[in-house]
Chains A and B, each alone.
Chain A
Amino acid sequence: MTGFFTLLYKELLRFWKVGFQTIVAPMVSTLLYLLIFFHVLEAHVEAYPGVAYTAFLIPGLVMMAVIQNAFANASSSMIQSKISGNIVFILLSPLSYHAIFFAYIIASIVRGLLVGLGVYWVTLFFFDIPLAQPVWSILFVVLGSAILSALGLIAGIWADKFDQLAAFQNFIILPLTFLSGVFYTIHSLPAGWQYFSHLNPFFYMIDGFRYGFFGVSDVSPYISLLIVAICLVAISMLTIRMLKTGYKLRH
Chain B
Amino acid sequence: MQPAIEVKHVSKRFGNVRALSGIDLEIRAGEFFALLGPNGAGKTTLISIIAGLTLADSGSVSVMGHNVITQYRQARQSLGVVPQELVFDPFFTVREILLIQSGYYGIKHNGAWVDEIIERLDLTGKANANMRALSGGMKRRVLVAQALVHKPPVIILDEPTAGVDVELRQSLWDFIRQLNHNGHTIVLTTHYLDEAETLCNRVAMLKEGKIVALDSAQNMIGKLPAGKSVRLRLLPDTLPAALQTLQLSHSGGMVELRIDTYAQVELILSALRAAQIGILEMHLQQPDLEDVFVNMMRNSGNEVT
Contacts and interface: CB of A to CB of B under 8 A. Distances in A.
Which of A2, A3, A93, A94 counts the most chain B CB atoms within 10 A?
A: A94
Interface string B21-62: 000000000000000000000000000100111110000000
B106 A3 contact: yes
A84 B88 CA distance: 7
Interface stretch (B69-77, B195-203, B277-285): B69-77
A14 B92 CA distance: 8
Interface stretch (A5-13, A38-46, A232-240): A5-13
Main secondary structure of the interface of A (DSSP, over half): helix
A85 B76 contact: no
Contacts of A10: 92, 100, 103
Contacts of B83: 85, 88
Interface of B: 14, 48, 51-55, 72-74, 76-77, 79, 81, 83, 85, 87-92, 96, 100-108, 146
Nearest to B131: A86
Interface residues of A, number: 27
A13 B81 CA distance: 25
A110 interface: no
B91 A93 contact: no
Which of A89, A95, A96 counts the most chain B CB atoms within 10 A?
A: A89
A7 B105 CA distance: 11
Contacts of B53: 88, 91-92, 250-251
A86 B103 CA distance: 16
Given A81-B89, A250-B55, 12 more contacts: A2-B107, A2-B108, A7-B104, A9-B100, A17-B91, A85-B83, A86-B89, A89-B89, A91-B52, A94-B77, A250-B53, A251-B55
B103 A92 contact: no
Contacts of B108: 2
A101 to B, nearest CB: 15
Contact of B104 (A3, A250, A251): A3
30 contacts: A2-B108, A7-B103, A9-B100, A9-B103, A10-B92, A10-B100, A10-B103, A13-B91, A17-B91, A81-B89, A84-B88, A84-B90, A85-B83, A85-B87, A86-B88, A86-B89, A89-B101, A89-B104, A91-B52, A91-B53, A92-B79, A92-B81, A94-B73, A94-B77, A94-B106, A95-B104, A250-B55, A251-B14, A251-B48, A251-B53
